[in-house]
Amino acid sequence: MVSKKENDELSQKILDTAQSLFDKYGVEDVSMHQVAKTAGIGQGTLYRRYPSKSRICFSLMEAKIDRFIQEVDAYLRSSGDEPVVVRIRTVMTKLILHFNEDLEWLRIILTSGKLEDNKKEIDENEPFNYLRLQVKSLLEHAAEQGILKPMDPGFTALLLISLPRADIILYLRDKGMGAEEIAQEYCRSFVDTLFVNTSLK
């Protein structure tokens, strides 16, 4: 009987192999057969753990999301003296740039027809909830300072975190916009407009 540790080690070996192949050849040009062969396992073993290339991409991205959350958390803990609008702008810019790093992977996931298999309910999505609660807290702080326009911080935070969708970023990139430009326009349209008498200079 295979132990949980052996299962975890094999799964990690598959992910490490896929990451190396994706980096070398690009996601589009790497097949599941190539991943299995390079990892030294049978295709059946691979498919039992990862039924599609999109599932491998999603698993690899989950690890990156964990690192991203740690980065955001470190920023928020060290930026208490900055204006709230700047802190929200920074968090949302980091989120958009994070998506931008993995556009090719996101395209595979979004076009695979299997995205629904990878979705979680909002209440179960820990990174989403973490960001939502952080932005909600920042908006509540701005309201206490009297610099937030009348609104429900919880509702607004939910929408702010929901708006930078991967498929929209892909669409805008395909139209020729760079990630920094997308982030700037997003913040100008959806963050700056929440505040009164705010200067970003």
CATH number at residue 111: 1.10.357.10
Same structural domain for residues 156 and 76? yes
pLDDT average, residue stretch 135-141: 96
Same structural domain for residues 1 and 76? no
CATH number, domain containing residue 7: 1.10.10.60
State pTM to two decimals: 0.71
What is the pLDDT at residue 109?
53
- Render pLDDT for 181-197 as a digit per residue (tens, 0 to 9): 999 999 999 999 999 96
Q: 3-state DSSP helix/strand/coil percent for the chain, to nearest 5?
A: 75, 0, 20
Q: Which domain holds residue 21?
A: 1-50
Q: What angle do CA 115, 119, 123 make, to 5 degrees?
A: 165
Q: Which residue has the higher pLDDT, 5 or 128?
A: 128
Same structural domain for residues 147 and 87? yes
Q: In the listed set 9, 24, 50, which residue is the last one of a domain according to the structure? A: 50
- C-alpha dist (Å) from residue 124 to 53, 91, 138, 156: 23, 21, 22, 20
pLDDT average, residue stretch 145-154: 95
Same structural domain for residues 45 and 130? no
Q: Which residue has the higher pLDDT, 4 or 28?
A: 28
Same structural domain for residues 16 and 105? no
- The answer to whether residue 156 sits within a structural domain is yes
pLDDT band of 201, cuts 50, 70, 90: very low
Dist. CA 160–CA 74, nearest whole Å: 20
What is the pLDDT at residue 118?
45
Q: Is residue 151 classed as helix, strand or coil in its secondary structure?
A: coil
% of the chain at pLDDT higher than 70: 82
Dist. CA 115–CA 55, nearest whole Å: 9
- The answer to whether residue 199 sits within a structural domain is no
Same structural domain for residues 112 and 84? yes
Same structural domain for residues 70 and 43? no
Same structural domain for residues 68 and 46? no
Q: Can you read off the two tokens belonging to residue 129?
A: 């909830």
pLDDT band of 145, cuts 50, 70, 90: very high
Q: Which residue has the higher pLDDT, 153 or 113?
A: 153
- The answer to whether residue 55 sits within a structural domain is no
Dist. CA 57–CA 23, nearest whole Å: 12
Provide the mean pLDDT of the chain: 83
Into how many domains does the chain fold?
Answer: 2
